[in-house]
Structures are given as structure tokens and as C-alpha cells.
Amino acid sequence: MDPVKNCFNCGAENLSLFYDAQNIPVHSCLLMTDRDEALKYPKGDVRLGYCQRCGFIENVLFDSSMHEYSSRYEETQGFSPRFQEFAKSLASRLIEQYDLRNKHILEIGCGKGEFLVLLCEMGLNKGTGIDPGYIPERTQSDAASRMTFIRDFYSEKYSNLTADFILCRHTLEHIQPTQDFLKMVRRSIGDRHETIVCFELPDVFRVLKEQAFWDIYYEHCSYFTLGSLERLFRSCGFEVLNSEKDFDDQYLLIEARPINESTGVISQDDGDLDELTQEVKIFKDTVPRKMEQWKEKLRDAKANGKRAVLWGSGSKAVAYLTTMGIGTEIEYVVDINPYKHGKFLAGTGHEIVPPAFLKEYQPEVVIAMNAIYCDEIQKDLNKMGVSAELIAV
């Protein structure tokens, strides 16, 4: 397919291309039932383009027709105590700040519905969740009778759904026509100016600054900084009430309300574009060296007879392995999510095993795919008597 030539955030042309990754799985969170299926799963290419007008970054080779969001898409992080703590804290803050009690909450891209359930439980709210990957039997809550789930993608046909609070967490980065999508949300609100919207998504500035190539994968076709996200919201008819970073600065959070005074034009007056342009250049220049360092570390471990495993079988693990072409240097991938055990990573065929597997396997090296979970990983290793070196990417 021909590369996209314009920015989906602001319409500018001549994006600056700065990163390529070929032949990577078009999905990284789907549960593969056997190694052969995993190895044969469809692949695509990533080519990131940077818009110097608004700061947006997108995969110009993205093809949405390749996607499969279904009940076998396993994205939840809810089995982690650290993530549960974050989710409860965020839910509590939103409830207090926007008086979300006995209100109606609409979540676009609700996944398995866990955060929506939390808001409905804690605030005695009603909820409507929309996601093609929702699994009904996973919702075990006293609040279930106040909730409705729609197994579909959000679109204009759901514009009749009204709510006091519209939530969209870790969904916008999966959508390429970002401005069209946000304008659709704005149209659905109409003149109900008291409605609050809240979006959460990854921060690409951190990805660039840490040269975290494992955070770039096919599903994520759109990448934001706080600046580019704020510019998008203002151009689509919203007043930004709050924008911040959270979860160890890995996530962006933006809260806004609809207004009538939008010009529809994305301004460049937020002062972050010069720094972002510099980070894009540094990323382009240094990522190849960082990849080679990781390859050498894994090759040396294998040459010295050391067994290494990854801890965390989500998209980061798939991107880490497929982008570098890692095979037998890593034999297994560990995950605390029981729904993943015995399944295989798309593209690489690595088997996903439970933590208890390590008691017998006794690896010498454990690579954590997210540093924020290192404390709980180390506790689990200690409990199992595994004295491996724990390294975070």
C-alpha cells in the first residue's frame, strides 16, 4: 500500500519519516492457541512519520483492514497489584473531581470492562461500555445490573448514547483518523456542555526519550504527547480542563468539556515542538545502537549457558522480540494473567507460562518488560526461590 502523506491530527503534509520496523505481527495481544498459528499470523510494516506542525506521530503504512479485535484479544493488566492500585486511585480521583455519583458513564473501548465496573461500584453509577473484545462472563460485580455492554466498535450509529461522563482509555492510539474520531465524539455530545470527556493513552515523548522501541507496534498507529493531544482536543471543540502524566509518566490523561468556540484549527503555540523535534532526531540516531546492545546481551547470555525469560507477554514483549528478530535466545515468556497461560506470542511462537513455571526452570536472567512492575516481580521471584538477575527494559 502507498504511504499516507498527511497528518491525521491536523492535515499537514510532508511528514518527517524517522523509524522503520518490518514484518511485525499486526496484532500482539491476540491469544494464539499453538506455535504454528502464532508463527503464521499476518504481519505488516511500521514507518513512523512526525508532523512538525502539531507534534503528532503516526504509522504511515498502517492498514486498519488487517485488524482483528475480538474476544481473543487479551489486553488486561488487571492482575497486577501495581496496576490495580493505579486504577483505583484514578477512579477515586475522577469520582471526586467530577462528582461521578449516581451518574451515567459511557466508556468507548472498554476492553473487559474492568475500569467501568470500578467507577460504577465506587460511585454507584450506571455504565455503558462499547468494545468488540468484551467478554460477558468476566464481569462479576454487584454493579453488573446497572451496566450495559455492546460488543462492537464505537461509531456514528451510537451517537444517540448520552452520558454525564465519556471515558476512552487506551483506544485513541489504535485509531488512525484521530481528528475525525474526536469530532465524531464531539458531535455525539451536541449542546450538552456539562458532559465531561476523559482520554488516557501512552506518552510518546517517554518512548522517544528512552528509545523504547518495544513500545512501537502495529496496533498503535497514532502516538501523542501532551502538547499534540491538547492541540487536537482544542481543534475539535473542547476546552481542556486538565492534562497530566501518570503511571510513572507512561500515560497521558486529558479531561475536557465541549464548547462552541472552536476554530477547528490546531495551533502551534504550546512550546513543546522544538524539544520534541530534537527527541525524534535522537531516537532515529540512537535506536539502532540500543537494539544492538540488547542483541549482544542476549547472545552473550545464551553463549554462557544462561537461561533468559521475558516477564510480561503483552505488546511490549512482541515488539521487543520481533523488532530485533529474537528467537531461541529467549525460550519462554512469563505472565501473571491466567488467561494467557499455554498460549503463544503472535509472530514469534514463544510460549506463555505462569510464574510458577520458573520454580523448576530456574532462569538466570529475567527481563521485565515494564520497569514499574519490578518490585512485584522481584517479590514473586523471591517467593519461588528464583535467584535470577532481574533487568528492566
Give a three-class secondary structure readout of 44-84: EEEEEEECCCCCCEEECCCCHHHCCCCCCECCCCCCCHHHH
CB 290 within 8 A of CB 211: yes
What residues have CB less than 8 Å from 256, skipping those under 6 apart? 196, 197, 198, 233, 238, 239, 240, 241
pLDDT of residue 68: 77
Distance CA 3, CA 150 (A): 33
For residue 244, is pLDDT > 90?
yes
For residue 268, is pLDDT > 60?
no
**Mean pLDDT, rounded, for 196-220:** 97
β-pairing verdict for 126-130 and 104-108: parallel
pLDDT of residue 1: 59
Whole-model pTM: value is: 0.95
Distance CA 335, CA 349 (A): 15
Beta bridge partners of 352: 333
**Mean pLDDT, rounded, for 86-99:** 98
β-pairing verdict for 251-258 and 308-311: unpaired
With bands split at pLDDT 50, 70 and 90, how would you rate the model's confidence at 35? very high
Distance CA 392, CA 380 (A): 15
pLDDT of residue 283: 98
SS3 state of residue 150: strand
Sign, CA torsion 200/226/164/166: negative
Q: Which of the residue ranges 108-112, 202-206, 266-270 would you say has the lowest mean pLDDT?
A: 266-270
CB 245 within 8 A of CB 253: yes
For residue 270, is pLDDT > 90?
no
Which of 200, 218, 329, 317 lies closest to 254, judged by CA?
200
pLDDT of residue 266: 62
pLDDT of residue 65: 86
Q: What percent of the chain has pLDDT over 70?
A: 96
Q: What percent of the chain has pLDDT over 90?
A: 91
pLDDT of residue 341: 97
With bands split at pLDDT 50, 70 and 90, how would you rate the model's confidence at 67? confident
pLDDT of residue 69: 75
Please provide the average confidence, as pLDDT, over all residues in the chain: 95
For residue 334, is pLDDT > 70?
yes
What residues have CB less than 8 Å from 104, skipping those under 6 apart? 125, 126, 127, 128, 162, 163, 164, 165
Q: Which domains does the chain have, with CATH numbers?
A: 294-392 (3.40.50.720)
In the β-sheet with 238-246, what is the strand arrangement from edge to edge? 147-150, 126-130, 104-108, 165-169, 196-202, 251-258, 238-246
For residue 269, is pLDDT > 80?
no
Q: Within 10 Å of residue 191's Cβ, how many Cβ atoms? A: 8
**What residue type is 9 in one-letter code?**
N
Distance CA 229, CA 198 (A): 12
